[in-house]
Amino acid sequence: MNQTILQTSSPVLLSTAYLGPVQYYAKLLDYGCARIEQYDHYAKQTYRNRCVIAAPDGPLALTIPIVKPDTPKCFMRDIRISDHGNWRHLHWNALESAYNHTPFFEYYKDDFRPIYEQRYEFLIDFNEALCRLTCSLIGFEPHLERTTNYAVDAPDDYRERIHPKRDWQTDDPQFRPTPYYQVFQDRLGFLPNLSIVDLLFNMGPESLLVLHACCPPASR
């Protein structure tokens, strides 16, 4: 049964994210309400169009190609997905190859597949569809709303703190990644803060318990 989250504080401010890392979903669970920034400018090499999964040989980044914006400063709400390189097929194959032997991939794959088969025009819509589905499968329902203008000096701002090139241990000490079973752990060791699907496919319904442990009540 899904757990409806009651907002008990100001909402967390997040960028849009393609199957964001565990840290991202820990914030959604901890705050219960999130404002998703749609008036920031697109930047390369962020979680906006990239997720990191555990492949047999180690971490693997999956990147969604985008249509090159007409201007250098294009709002995220206007970023379109490109069909270049048959990326939907390649990403799905990568997920299947990485997680086919996990305990729960077989259970959840038919929920994810239709989103990859549907052709979303805008990146932020595709990301939101995956985010809502993932939260529902984990068992909680955060309130998500998009910004109506660019947020300046906003509290609880994690738009750039949750970033593949930032050190979460320094930038977000409240986030405490809790080890969980990973299918390649014997070979790779535990890999923290991968895409949320790594947690979901490995742990299934227990993903919610892991996320709760990642954001203890006294952390903020």
Q: Would you report the helix, strand and coil content of the chain in percent, each value rounded to 5?
A: 40, 15, 45
Mean pLDDT score, 188-198? 97
217 Cβ contact partners less than 8 Å away, ≥ 6 residues apart: none
- The whole-number pLDDT of residue 6 equals 46
Helix (H) or strand (E) holding 59: strand 58-63
Instruction: Count helices and strands (H / E) in the chain.
Output: 8, 7
- 14 sits in the region (left: phi over 0; alpha: psi -120 to 50; else beta) called beta
Closest CA relative to residue 196, chosen from 207, 187, 185:
207
Look at 20-29, 119-128, 171-180 and tell me which has the smallest mean pLDDT: 171-180
pLDDT tens for 84-138 read 889 999 999 999 999 999 999 999 999 999 999 999 999 999 999 999 999 999 9
Compute the half-sphere exposure of residue 162: CA atoms within 13 Å on the CB side of its CA. Answer: 31
In this model, does residue 7 exceed pLDDT 50?
A: no
Please give the average per-residue pLDDT across 184-203, as a whole number.
Answer: 97
- Residue-averaged pLDDT of the chain: 92
Which pLDDT does position 220 carry in this prediction? 54
Helices (H), the chain: 22-31, 87-99, 105-117, 123-138, 168-171, 185-188, 196-203, 207-214
Structure tokens at 61: 């980044």
pLDDT at 2: 56
pLDDT at 5 over 50: no
Q: Are 17 and 49 in contact (CB under 8 A)?
A: no
Q: Are strands 58-63 and 50-55 parallel, antiparallel or unpaired?
A: antiparallel
Distance of CA 95 to the CA centre of its chain: 14
3-state class of 145 per DSSP? strand
Model confidence pLDDT, tens digit, residues 37-55? 999 998 889 999 999 999 9
| % of the chain with per-residue pLDDT over 70 | 95
Contact 24, 162 (CB under 8 A): yes
pLDDT digit string (tens) for 159-175?
Answer: 999 999 988 888 899 99
Predicted local confidence at residue 153, as pLDDT: 83
At 218, the pLDDT band (50, 70, 90 cuts) reads low
How many C-beta neighbours within 10 Å does residue 148 have? 9
